[in-house]
Amino acid sequence: MAAPAPTGIIIVAGEQADGTTYQLHPLSRARIEARFPGTRLLRSLFVGLDTQTDYTDMHGPMWEQIVLLLTGLTLARVHELGDVVIRFPASGREVAVPLDLHLDTPAAG
Amino acid sequence: MSQLQTLYTGRAGQAFVMAEFAIRGYNVAVPEIDRGDDLFVVHDTSGAFWRVQVKTANAKVLAKGGFRAQFRVRLSQLQTPYTPDLTYVFATRVAGRWADCVVIPRDKLYALHSVDGVGTLAGGYVVLGLSYRAAVGQAGASLESGTTDLSPLLGDFSWWPAIAH
């Protein structure tokens, strides 16, 4: 039996020595496809960095852009779907992504 | 099956899959240190690189025809994306022959599990029961897990088109 669909958007992430790979959780992917048919979803996104320090300094501020790239949606549409979290299955860590929502953003996407 | 026999079966499945990549013109290597990847597959000219995990099982022949094999994959491995990502190849031995491999990228299997309910969770692993509907070498082979038709995955090496050297 399939698992119940979670609310919001879950992004799963895998950390490796030279960067991090981000991917939509399959249930979130299905949810976006159902809600916004025709949306061009990325299969995955790799963000390469030189050092672990770069990771700490840069990835947090980049998460909002990572969400937009993976989903192909505007911030307003992402917000419609609920909260966004990034999950790191290897460590069990889960981080909420604060969305800097500008409601005047055109709702195209 | 003894642990030793399991080891031999696993290595035989790995060799079978290596042969499939090699005959398609890809270089193939076994990592010196076992950290989860069984094979590295490389397109020598372009440098494209794939990580492959081979799972091997002996199938049980079914009285009603066809056969059934069971595999398990670690849940945390199934959930975690890396670059390059992992591809699973499930190799099944039945009645002294190899059945067509089941080839599936990690994220596609994760979607089958979490969206379509393929496989069951047990002790941190996802257990996959694969039912083949025809004997090896027969036309019209099909593959199911539960009620999900997985036939398109049978022998699907389409990500690795044959290279002429």
At B29-81, the pLDDT tens digits run 999 887 777 899 999 999 999 999 999 999 999 988 899 999 999 999 999 99
Task: Inform me whether the pLDDT recorded for B114 exceeds 60.
Answer: yes
Quick one: which of A99, A106, A107 has its CA closest to A79? A99
Percent of chain B with pLDDT over 70: 96
Shortest Cα–Cα distance, B2 to chain A (Å): 31
Candidate from A3, A12, A30 with C-beta closest to B81: A12
Average pLDDT value for chain B: 92
Cβ–Cβ < 8 Å for A40, A55? no
Assigned token pair, A41? 């979803």
Strands (E), chain A: 9-16, 19-24, 45-48, 84-88, 93-96
At A14-48, the pLDDT tens digits run 998 888 999 999 999 999 999 999 999 999 999 98
State CA B33 to chain mean position distance.
21
Q: Which residues of B touch A2 (CB under 8 A)?
A: 114-117
Question: How many pairs of residues across A and B have Cβ atoms under 8 Å apart?
Answer: 50
Helix B106-114 and helix A26-35: axis angle, to 10°? 70
Cβ–Cβ < 8 Å for A44, A51? no
- A10 to chain B, any CB pair closer than 8 A? The answer is no
The structure's pTM equals 0.89
Quick one: which of B59, B137, B57, B116 has its CA closest to A2? B116
Q: How confident is the model at residue B136 (pLDDT cuts 50, 70, 90)?
A: low
Q: How confident is the model at residue A52 (pLDDT cuts 50, 70, 90)?
A: low
**What does the pLDDT read at residue B8?**
93
Q: Do A21 and B115 touch (CB under 8 A)?
A: no
Q: How confident is the model at residue A49 (pLDDT cuts 50, 70, 90)?
A: confident
ipTM computed for the complex: 0.86
| 3-state helix, strand and coil shares in percent for chain A, rounded to the nearest 5 | 35, 25, 40
